[in-house]
Amino acid sequence: MSKTLIINGEEYAFDGSKTVLQIARENGIYIPSLCYHPRLGPLSKCRVCVVEVDGMRGLQTSCSLFPTDGMRVQTDTARVIEARKMVVNMLLANGNHNCMICEMNGDCELQDAAYHLGIEFPAFLVEQKEEKDDSSAFILRDPGKCIECGRCIEGCNRMVVNEVLDFGFRGGHTQVICDTGIPMGESSCVQCGECVQLCPVGALIEKKGLGKARRWETEKVRTTCPYCGVGCQLELHVKDEQIVRVTGVEGARPNQGHLCVKGRYGYDFIYSKDRLTTPLIREGKDFREASWDEALDLVANKFKEIIKKDGPDAIAGVSCARSINEDSYNMQKLFRAVIGTNNIDHCART
Amino acid sequence: MTNSFSEFENAKLFFCIGTNMTEAHPVASYFVKRAVNKGAKLIVADPRRHALADKADIYAQIKVGSDVAFLNGLMHVLITENLYDKKFVEENTEEFENLKAAVMQYPVDKASKISGVSEDVMREIARTMASIKPGMLCYTLGITEHTCGKNNVMSTANLQMLLGNMGVECGGVNPLRGQNNVQGACDMGALPNVYPGYQKVDDPAMKEKFMKAWGVSELSQKPGLMIPDMMAGLPTKKVKAFYIFGENLANTEPNITHVEHELASAEFLVCNDIFPTETTRFAHVIFPAAAWSEDDGTFTSSERRVNRVRKVKQAPGLAKPNWWIFKEIARRMGHDWASSSAREIWDNELSVLAPAYGGIKYYRIEQDGLQWPCPNEEHPGTSFLHRDGKFSRGKGLFKGIQWTPPAEVEDEEYPFVLSTGRRLFHYHSRTQTGRAGMDMILPEETADISPSDAAKLGIKNNEYVIVSSRRGTVKVKARVTGQIPPGLVWMAFHFRDGNANWLTNNVFDPETKTAEYKACAVKLEKVV
C-alpha cells in the first residue's frame, strides 16, 4: 500500500525512494534550492530548501528529508519564508552578484530564489571578494559569485573523479580551491567542465561563450559528440547558427551529462576560416576553384575511363570513421554498385 | 563492445589492458573510477603507468608487445590452479584442448620473463580475476596496433571465456573505439569483404540480395583491398585512382616518408574534406564537405548505440554533404539513387538491408539511441551480446595462440622502444582540435621518456632531443615523466612537426592489416 505525504494540506502518494523536495517538485510545488542537483543528490549545505514539518523541531532541509507515512509539511509559512530570505540575503551579500552583465542571467538558481522570495535589494552590504581566476584556457572562475554550495566539488571528486577542487580556508574565508589553492590553469584540472555544468550561479563560466548570447536567446539542440567512440550526448546552445556553449545532456545514455574537454570545448573548428568552401581542381602545383558540375564530371569521367581501361579494381577508396553512417553507406554503395569493386575500407582496425 | 558503458558503474572488476582511458576515452574512465571508489577492483596492464594506474588495485607494467605471453601466463595460472570456469567452458565453448596446449607452453616464469611482470603479480591478477565474477575486460589500441594484433584480441577473448565472463551483464570483451563513428563505418560496410551489416560479399545469396536492392545486374564477389594494399598499389599502378574521404593519411599512417611517396604516385587522387590537409596536397580534385553540425545523420558508438547527429548551421560556401557528393558521382555514372537525405538513406535503405538494424528507425532515436542487434521495431535493442553464453556462431571457439615479438625490436643502434598514441587535449592530426583552441593547452609534440633514461643521457625536461628510427628523424621536446619505464619512448601523432609517424614502422598484422604503431626501435639523442 502506498503511503501519503501531506504538503500544504494536499495529499501525495509516495513509495519511499524520494525526498520531500523531489516529491514537491514533481507535483509542481516550487521549493528553492541551491546546493541540490538531481545528479549529485542531497548535499544539505545551503539550507534554502527548508520546510516546516509537524512534530519536528526546527526547520528541515527538504532535499535530504525522506517522508514518513502521514508526514505533514508546510513549504510556505512565514517562518519558512523568513529563513529562506535570510539565507539568500546572506549569500547575496557575500559576493558580487551583478545580474545585468552575468552570463548566467536567466538561468541562475540564486536569481530564481531571490525572485521567488521577492528580494528586491540585498538586505546587507555587498562585500567584494577576490579577483577572477582567468588562468584556465576554457573556464573562467569568478569567486565573487560563488555561493559555496559545493556542487562543483562534488562533481569533480565524486562524479568525474578528477579530484582537483575542494574547499579551502575556514569560516568567512572559505572558498573553492584548485589543488592546493593555485590558479586553475596551473593546477591538475583537465578542463572537463563538470564544475561549470553543475554551478548554479555565474561563478564558473565557459570562456568561449562570453558575451555571445543571453541564456534565453539560445536554442538547445541535442546531438552526438564528434570525438571519441563513447558517443556522449551533447546539448548545443545555438544562437543564429553560432554554437555559443555545449553542455552534456542530463540523464542521457551513455554519459549522464558528463563530458570531457574536447566534447565540451572542441566544437568551434566548424567556424574556422580555413574551411574548404568550393570544389578545387589541380592545375600544375596549385589548385583552381571549380564549379560542382565541372569537378563532379571530371571525377565521374576519369573513373569511367579507368574502369574501361584497367577495370573497376584499379579504383580504391577509403571512407571516414568520423563522418555520419549515411555517408559511409553511400560511399561503399558507389564503389560496389556503380564502380564495381569491393576496394572500400576505412581505418577500422586502428 | 560486447557490453555497455552503463554497466561500468556497477561492475565488480575491471581488467584494462592497452587502454589509456583517462585521456583517450575520458568519460568512460569517469564511470570506471566511480565504480572503483564504490569498491570495484581495477587491474591495469600497460607499458605506461598512466593516470588510471593510480586508481588500480594491481598495476602490471607489461613490456611493449608482450600481451599474448602475458595473457597466456594468466591463463596458465587459471588452468593449472583449477581456477577457470569449468561449467562455462564445458557448456558454451569448444576447442579448450587447443587453448590448453598453447597455454601450457607459457608457465608463469616464462611469461614473466617475456612480459616483465613479476610472477607474483601475475598470479595475483589471475587469482583475483578468478575470485571476482563477472569482470569486464576493456582494451583499446594497445592491443590491436601490433603485427600480432589479431592474436592479442583473440587472447583477450580466450581469457574472458575461460573465466566465464561472457554473455553476462558487467562482463565481456570491450574494445573502446577510437573514433566517434569507426563502429558505424564498419557496420555500414566500408570494409572490403562485407556489405552493410557484415553480410559477406563472397556469399552468392548476399550478392543477389544487394543486386536486387541496388538495381544493378552485377556485383563483385571478390573481396577488395585493405588500406595498406591500396596504398602499396599506387606506385605499382595496380591502383590508378584513389578516393580518400576525410582521412589525413599523410599524417596518420606509419612511416610518413613512405606514405607520401605512395600518395604522390597516385595517378588520380580525389579527396572529400572540410579542411586542406597534408593529404589533400596530393589530390587532383578536392570536394568541400559539410562538417559535423552541418548535416543530419547518425553515429554509432563503441557500445553499438546508434545516436542522432543534428544540423544547426549551413555548410560554408559551396560545401555539400558527403552522401550528396557520392550520389552525384553515381548519377553522372548512370545510376540514379532515390534517397535524398540521411534519414531516407537510413530508414529506406540501410535499416531494410541490414537485419541487425531492422528495428532502428529515425523516429525511435530522437532521444537516447538504440543498440544493435535490434531486429524489429518492437525490439528494445541489445545492451550485451552472447546472453547466457550463446555465441553468434553457436559455441565460443578457443584458439591456442603463440606469442610473437614486434617486427622491429631494440638493438645496439636503436636501443629504445617507441610506442605511440593519443593525448587528452588533441585528436589525431589536429585538423579539428588545432582549430578549437586546444593548442593553448598543448602547443607542441613531446617525446615522453623515463627519469632514469633522462638522467643517463643528461636530458632535462623540456629540452630538445632528436629521436630517430630506420625511417626518419624528428626533433622534439623531451617530457620527462615517471609514467614511462626505462627503455621506452612514447609519442603522439597530433603535430606535423615531431609526428611519431615519421618514425613508426609500416609493418602490418597479416590478417587485419593493422600497422604496428605501438612498437618500433628508435635512438634518442640530446641536442647539443
Chain A residue with minimum CA distance to B426: A262
Closest CA in chain B for residue A278: B318
Q: Tens digits of per-residue pLDDT, A15-41?
A: 989 999 999 999 999 999 999 999 999
What is the rounded CA–CA span in Å between residue B40 and residue B33? 9
A121 touches B at CB < 8 Å: no
Domains of chain B: total: 3
Interface ipTM: 0.97
Contact status of B18 with chain A (Cβ, < 8 Å): no
Q: Is B180's CB within 8 Å of A263's CB? A: no
Query: Using only C-alpha atoms, what is the Rg of chain B?
Result: 24
Q: Which CATH number goes with the domain that contains A228?
A: 2.20.25.90
State pLDDT tens for residues A283-331.
999 999 999 999 999 999 999 999 999 999 999 999 999 999 999 999 9
Beginning with the edge strand found earlier in the chain, give each strand of the sheet holding B370-371 in spatial order.
B297-300, B305-309, B370-371
Question: Does an H or E element contain B195, and which?
Answer: strand B194-195
Cβ–Cβ below 8 Å for B225 and A304: no
Give the Cα separation of A192 and A189 in Å (integer): 8
Only one residue has cell 564498419, namely B186
> Residues B117, B157: one domain?
yes
CATH number, domain containing residue B356? 3.40.50.740
Asked if the Cβ–Cβ distance from A322 to B5 is below 8 Å, we say no
Is residue B226 within 8 Å of residue B513, measured between CB atoms?
A: yes
B224 and B371 in one domain?
yes
User: What are the chain A neighbours of B35 within 8 Å (beta carbons)?
Assistant: none
β-sheet bridge partners, residue A14: A3
**B371 and B453, same domain (yes or no):** no
Residue of B nearest to A226 (CA): B180
Number of domains in chain A: 3
Q: Do B243 and A315 touch (CB under 8 A)?
A: yes
CB contact under 8 A, A298 and B285: yes
CATH number at residue B432: 2.40.40.20
* Residue A330 sits at the chain B interface (C-beta within 8 Å): yes
B144, B149, B435 ranked by CB distance to A269: nearest: B435
Spatial contact of A214 and A226, defined as CB atoms under 8 Å apart: no
B window 339-398, beta carbon within 8 A of A: 342, 345-346, 349-350, 367-369
Please answer yes or no on whether A253 and B313 come within 8 Å at the CB atom: no
Note whether residue A155 is domain-resident: no
- Asked whether residue B107 falls in the same domain as residue B223, the answer is no
Q: Which residue of A has its CA nearest to B216?
A: A337
Pair (B348, B369) in one structural domain? yes
Report the distance separating Cα B125 and Cα B119, nearest Å: 10
Question: By residue range, what is the domain housing residue B93?
Answer: 5-176
Residues B240 and B339 in one domain: yes
Q: Which residue of A has its CA nearest to B197?
A: A329
Nearest CA in chain B to A330: B323
Do B200 and B347 fall into the same domain? yes
User: B164 and B31, same structural domain?
Assistant: yes
Same domain, A262 and A322: no
Q: B330 and A334: CB-CB below 8 Å?
A: yes
How far A209 CA lies from chain B's nearest CA (Å)?
A: 13
One domain, residues B159 and B256: no
What band does A250 get if pLDDT is binned at 50, 70 and 90?
very high
Window 289-318 of B: residues touching A by CB (8 A cutoff) are 289, 291-295, 297-303, 305-310, 312-314, 316-318
pTM above 0.90, yes or no: yes
Q: Are residues B475 and B439 in the same domain?
A: yes
Residue B392: inside a domain:
no
Cβ-defined contact of A276 to B325 (cutoff 8 Å): no
H or E element in which residue A7 lies: strand A3-7
Which among B508, B504, B506, B507 has a CA at the least distance from the CA of B492? B504
User: Measured between alpha carbons, how far is residue A50 from residues A23, A83, A118 in Å?
Assistant: 14, 8, 17
Which pLDDT does position B233 carry in this prediction? Answer: 98
Give the domain range for residue A248. Answer: 212-275
Residues of B in contact with A348 (CB under 8 A): 182, 185-186, 190-191
Whether residues B255 and B130 share a domain: the answer is: no
List chain B pLDDT tens, one digit each, 528 residues.
999 999 999 999 999 999 999 999 999 999 999 999 999 999 999 999 999 999 999 999 999 999 999 999 999 999 999 999 999 999 999 999 999 999 999 999 999 999 999 999 999 999 999 999 999 999 999 999 999 999 999 999 999 999 999 999 999 999 999 999 999 999 999 999 999 999 999 999 999 999 999 999 999 999 999 999 999 999 999 999 999 999 999 999 999 999 999 999 999 999 999 999 999 999 999 999 999 999 999 999 999 999 999 999 999 999 999 999 999 999 999 999 999 999 999 999 999 999 999 999 999 999 999 999 999 999 999 999 999 889 988 999 999 999 999 999 999 999 999 999 999 999 999 999 999 999 999 999 999 999 999 999 999 999 999 999 999 999 999 999 999 999 999 999 999 999 999 999 999 999 999 999 999 999 999 998
Kindly state whether residue B408 falls inside one of the protein's structural domains.
no
**Which residues from chain B sit within 8 angstroms of residue A335, using beta carbons?**
224
Does the CB of A278 have a partner CB in chain B at under 8 Å? yes
Q: Which of B176, B202, B225 is the last residue of a domain?
A: B176
- Residue B81 shares a structural domain with residue B144: yes
